[in-house]
Structure 1
Amino acid sequence: MAIFLHKHTLILTLICSLLVLHSSHSELVTESSIHDLLKSKGLPVGLFPKDVESFTLYDTGLLEVFLRGPCLTKFDTMAFYESTIRANLTYGSLTGVEGLSQEELFLWLPVKDIIVDDPKSGLILFDIGLAHKQLSLSLFEDPPDCKSEDVLNVLNLKKKSRKEIGFDAQI
Structure 2
Amino acid sequence: MAISSINFILGFRILLILTILPLFHSESIHELLTSKGLPAGLVPKDVKSFNLDENGLLQVNLFAPCLTKFENRVFFESVIKGNLSYGKLNGLEGLSQEELFLWLPIKDIIVDDPSSGLILFDVGVVHKQFSLSLFEDPPECKPEDKPPQLQQQQHQKIISYTSGVSRKKKGFDVV
Q: TM-score, normalised by structure 1?
A: 0.76
Deviation at 1:129, TM superposition (A): 1.2
What is the aligned residue count?
A: 139
Q: Where does the alignment leave 5 or more consecutive residues of structure 1 unmatched? A: 1-28
Question: Secondary structure at the residue paired with 1:124?
Answer: strand
Deviation at 1:153, TM superposition (A): 5.9
Structure of larger gyration radius: 2
Alpha-carbon distance in 1 for matches of 2:26, 2:83: 17
Deviation at 1:38, TM superposition (A): 0.3
Question: Secondary structure at the residue paired with 1:88?
Answer: strand
Alignment check: 8 A CA contact 2:65 2:146 kept: no
Q: Percent identity?
A: 61
Alignment check: 8 A CA contact 2:119 2:129 kept: yes
User: Is residue 145 of structure 2 the alignment partner of residue 152 of structure 1?
Assistant: yes
2:138 alignment partner, one of 137, 143, 153: 143
Alpha-carbon distance in 1 for matches of 2:90, 2:30: 17
Question: Secondary structure at the residue paired with 1:38?
Answer: helix
Residue identity in the other structure for 2:67: L
Alpha-carbon distance in 2 for matches of 1:62, 1:68: 20
Residue identity in the other structure for 1:121: S
1:104: which partner in 2? 99
Distance change in 2, residues 1:56/1:153 (3 Å): closer
Alignment check: 8 A CA contact 2:65 2:145 kept: no
Alignment check: 8 A CA contact 1:31 1:37 kept: no
- Matching of residues 45-64 of structure 1 within 5 Å: 45-64=40-59
Distance change in 2, residues 1:129/1:142 (3 Å): same
Q: CA RMSD in A?
A: 2.0
Question: Secondary structure at the residue paired with 2:64?
Answer: coil
1:75: which partner in 2? 70
